[in-house]
Amino acid sequence: MSIRERLSGNEAAATAMKQINPDVVAAFPITPSTEIPQYFSTFVANGAVDTEFVAVESEHSAMSACIGAEAAGSRAMTATSANGLSLMWEMIYIASSLRLPIVLSLVNRAVSGPLNIHNDHSDAMGVRDAGWIMLFSENNQEAYDNTLMAHRIAEHKDVMLPLMVCQDGFITSHSIENIELEEDEKVKEFVGEYHPEHYLLNKKEPIAVGPLDVQTYLFEHKAQQAKAMINAKKVILEVAKDFEKMTGRSYGFFEEYKLEDAEIAVVCMNSTAGTTKYVVDKLREKGIKAGLLKIRVYRPFPAEEIAEALSHLKAVAIFDKADSLNAAGGAVFEDVTSAMYVNQKNVPAVNYIYGIGGRDTKADDIEDVYTELLEIAKSGKVENPYRYFGLRKGGDKNAL
């Protein structure tokens, strides 16, 4: 039976970690993820877990310690944000290339500079192609649920890839919401124990981890990583089905909110989906057939499924909370439009960069986007696909 509680997103992530009881947690504090290892360290101190907590001197060291622990055969977790993730950058790639199923709680924050501690997705987008599975969380409940599912996905024999659970810094990480927690024993049974097939401390099978991998082999190893990411799609859905049996809460690659009969829709991730749902409901009351597609699984990217889900629309807006600075739109826009093109689904699409550095995302701004989509739907033309919303007065919303 689920337990009703009130927790912040950081508390929810730390509580999930406590119930999982990993072998090793290595972490270094950085706003706004600091509370996760802080809460978890109290669980260690009071004996609620028997995890080895490693207080390191930097985020690079945190990921290095997790890599060492996983390579030795242990289940390892950590948490970070923004510049901390940037400092891990070298080790992020090493973790995935060594096929180590580390789980990272990424509390999304703007990457410097200039220095900004508030939410956008520039940290996650910076490592989107690093070989990590990436799950995004609209609210505290999803941050908790995604963390409970993470090890089952990452440690599957056909996957063996690291996984990051993303949530929006301060917006969900520090906001207290009602949440349903699962009983400790149920979580323990669901997650299971970690028994890797190959690990350094197995005296019966001496192995090397991280040797020189020159042109003779590296290409094949990268192809194996790519295959594992493809395999993860099936595993993610299988784990979600088992999770639904335990909790009654259902998850897929994405959520379709009033999308089935929609004529215009927005594609977005994380907490922005909650505000967008409110706008969709308002527009529906006016007879406007608006909808939403909220991406949960960003890596592996469910290209074919997203293209099919959006194929019946007259116009679609893709939101990016990070700017790729490439004169051709944000990363989510590129992924969605590429998926549409490859799968031969022709829908007029427009990109909106928004919320950079924690800029407020207002319902009125999103409603304006839907108004612009109505015009695109009527004409079938997109005059400028690269736009901003939420800039201060005087900013150019059609900036590119």
Q: Are residues 148 and 261 in the same domain?
A: no
Q: Are residues 149 and 292 in the same domain?
A: no
Q: Are residues 233 and 292 in the same domain?
A: no
Q: Are residues 232 and 306 in the same domain?
A: no
Determine, yes or no, domain membership for 400.
Answer: no
Judged on CB neighbours under 10 Å (0-12, 13-18, 19+), 37 is: buried
Q: Are residues 226 and 293 in the same domain?
A: no
Q: Domain total for the chain?
A: 2
pLDDT at 216: 94
Q: Are residues 267 and 237 in the same domain?
A: no
Spatial distance between the Cα atoms of 75 and 105, rounded to a whole number of angstroms: 14
Determine, yes or no, domain membership for 393.
Answer: no
Determine, yes or no, domain membership for 88.
Answer: yes
Q: Are residues 101 and 176 in the same domain?
A: yes
CATH of the domain at 309: 3.40.50.920
Determine, yes or no, domain membership for 398.
Answer: no
From 247, 262, 277, the end of a domain falls on 247
Residue 179: strand pairing partners = 5
Determine, yes or no, domain membership for 395.
Answer: no
Domain range for residue 103?
3-247
- pTM over 0.95? The answer is yes
Q: What is the 3-state secondary structure (H, E, C) of 202-239?
A: CCCCCCCCCCCCCCCCHHHHHHHHHHHHHHHHHHHHHH
Please list the ranges in the chain whose pLDDT falls under 50: 400
Spatial distance between the Cα atoms of 291 and 259, rounded to a whole number of angstroms: 4
CATH of the domain at 130: 3.40.50.970
Q: Are residues 219 and 262 in the same domain?
A: no
pLDDT at 395: 58
Q: Are residues 241 and 259 in the same domain?
A: no
Q: Are residues 231 and 269 in the same domain?
A: no
Q: Give me 11's structure tokens.
A: 């508390």
Q: Are residues 286 and 261 in the same domain?
A: yes
pLDDT at 1: 72
pLDDT at 345: 98
Determine, yes or no, domain membership for 397.
Answer: no
Spatial distance between the Cα atoms of 354 and 271, rounded to a whole number of angstroms: 13
Q: Are residues 366 and 278 in the same domain?
A: yes
pLDDT at 280: 99
pLDDT at 394: 61
pLDDT at 149: 99
From 247, 278, 308, the end of a domain falls on 247
Determine, yes or no, domain membership for 44.
Answer: yes
From 225, 247, 269, the end of a domain falls on 247
Spatial distance between the Cα atoms of 196 and 198, rounded to a whole number of angstroms: 6
